[in-house]
Amino acid sequence: MNLYAVVLGIIVVTLLGVSLARLGKVKTKADYLVAGRSLPAFVLVFTLLSSWIGSGSLLGGAENAYRHGFAALWQGGGGWAGLALIYFIAPRARKFAQFTIPDLLEARYNQAARVLGVIAVLFTYTAITSYQFIGGGDILHLIFPQVSAVNGAYILAGFVIVFTAIAGMGSVAYMDVVIGVLATLTMLAALPVLIHLAGGWEGVHAVLPDTHFEVFGDITPIQALELFLPTCLLMLGNQSMYQKFFSAKTEKDATRATVGWIIGTVILESVIVAIAVVGSALFRSGEVHDRPREILAYTAIHAFGGAMAGNRVLGMLGALLVGAIFAKVVSTANNYLFSPATNLVNDVFARYVMKDASNTMIVWVSRGMVVILGLWALVQALKITSVLKMSLYAYTIYSAALTPVILAAFYWKRATAAGAVSSIAAGTVVTVCWQYVAPYLPKVIGERDAILPALLASLLGLFVVSLLTEKPSAEKLAPFAG
């Protein structure tokens, strides 16, 4: 286990070095919140990739793959569909060039939409951050059995809070380059070795049920849709993504980065599911059977550290794979913790509390918000029983509450402020309350995930109320024209 500790130590020191190197470049609000709008396409590709693929894929998606096989790709497939559409949105987002999604909501709609947007982002992003802490805690427990998963979550939370607070978007983005390269190379190298250890695809097929290799597997088409829609809609409206586009040097850099992001996401999410499926063939019982969200790290430690213990090269590959998974969790936690902190500073503090705050004051208040929200996310983490369920809950809040109005801002001129407010409120309320209402509904409805009723309520609010109210002025629409 010493090798794993050494690799993790090197990764931590490297990430700290990157953060400290960016610290001297943070002098203004724009430097901290959007990296001075200086990120080139290469950096954007890896920061977008790292912010999207975190514990939702590495734990939730892997847990799904362990239980259901390649049908788990329906969850990732939603993101791929969203990415294909984002190619056309990216240059428009960079052209708008503000700081946060609520900036966009107020410019296109009104202040009420901005405030409701902040609330939806806070619910969603602290929930996403919370299960990154759980993922990091699980990995630390696997490497250091004397450290409980709960204590590991505390350690990971402290690490992420400090790193995120240091230098803002510049720190997050450049750390993501290091993490993205490490994760991509190690996962691509590890998959064929693990397939060989399992006796080739024939060996994998022989151990697992046939449904693991079918399009829907043992889930229904409706369940597949309930995996597909939240990830697709979260991708389309993801504030972290838009904030990266706002950080791009130019509109062309934003568009080029999207192409690389599409390619990288399809490859990495497919490899993650494949590793989880092979891992499920290698380890059908034991500790991981009861905690399938740990299958990737468990496979890296026990497959490489067991059967190949005498092979230093493969032992190092296993350690690097664990390190890459840990680093990806850290990266996603950084991104989703930083984003809502930006909301509170830009959309609340600098707007309503201290309008004439200096750049120095805003940077320090931003760091304080990172600490506060990190602690809130940690409290949520300690209550999590399933990363998959928590990820789908978080995705649904955002998907139903914000994605429809964000897309309408760019693509539906008839969308009004009243329609947007109704949509955000309906999507948020239905998602948060669904678990309490569902048991009292007819079984055929109550058993459904919240995404379908929440999205329906949101769309009805947007379209019906918009059509019943006065259309927006040409001045409101001008910044969003193609």
Domain range list for the chain: 2-23+40-97+125-383
CA torsion, ordered 301, 302, 307, 309, to nearest 10 deg: 40
- Of 460, 479, 402, 118, nearest to 235 by C-alpha is 402
pLDDT band, very low/low/confident/very high, at 25 (cuts 50, 70, 90): low
Give the DSSP H/E element, type plus range, for residue 431: helix 417-437
The pLDDT tens digits for 80-108 are 888 888 777 766 666 655 556 777 888 88
pLDDT at position 29 over 70: no
pLDDT at position 418 over 90: yes
Question: Residue 308 has what pLDDT?
Answer: 47
Range name among 51-55, 217-221, 347-351 with the lowest pLDDT average: 51-55
* Burial of 151 per CB tally in 10 Å (0-12, 13-18, 19+): middle
What secondary structure letter does DSSP report for 248? B
- Cβ(456)–Cβ(396) below 8 Å: no
Question: Residue 11 has what pLDDT?
Answer: 80
- Of 44, 41, 19, 45, nearest to 32 by C-alpha is 19
CA distance 44 to 48: 6
Range name among 29-33, 176-180, 204-208 with the lowest pLDDT average: 29-33
- Cβ(113)–Cβ(418) below 8 Å: no
| 355-388 burial code (b ≥16 CB/10 A, e <16) | eebeeeebbebbbebbeebbebbbebbeebeebb
The pLDDT tens digits for 317-368 are 888 888 888 888 887 787 788 878 877 887 788 777 887 778 778 778 888 8
Question: Residue 85 has what pLDDT?
Answer: 80
Give the DSSP H/E element, type plus range, for residue 403: helix 403-411
Range name among 33-42, 114-123, 177-186 with the lowest pLDDT average: 33-42
pLDDT at position 431 over 80: yes
Tell me the average pLDDT across 265-270. 90
pLDDT band, very low/low/confident/very high, at 114 (cuts 50, 70, 90): confident
Question: Residue 482 has what pLDDT?
Answer: 59
- Cβ(364)–Cβ(264) below 8 Å: no
CA torsion, ordered 331, 335, 341, 344, to nearest 10 deg: -170
- Cβ(118)–Cβ(347) below 8 Å: yes
pLDDT at position 31 over 70: no
What secondary structure letter does DSSP report for 147? S
Question: Residue 420 has what pLDDT?
Answer: 94
**Could you tell me the CATH superfamily of domain 2-23+40-97+125-383?**
Sodium/glucose cotransporter (1.20.1730.10)
Question: Residue 173 has what pLDDT?
Answer: 64
pLDDT band, very low/low/confident/very high, at 275 (cuts 50, 70, 90): very high
Average pLDDT value over all residues in the chain: 82
Q: Which residue has the tokens 């850290």?
A: 330
Phi, psi of 316 (to 5 degrees): -65, -40
pLDDT band, very low/low/confident/very high, at 138 (cuts 50, 70, 90): confident
Which residues touch 320 (CB under 8 Å, ≥6 apart)? 7, 182, 186
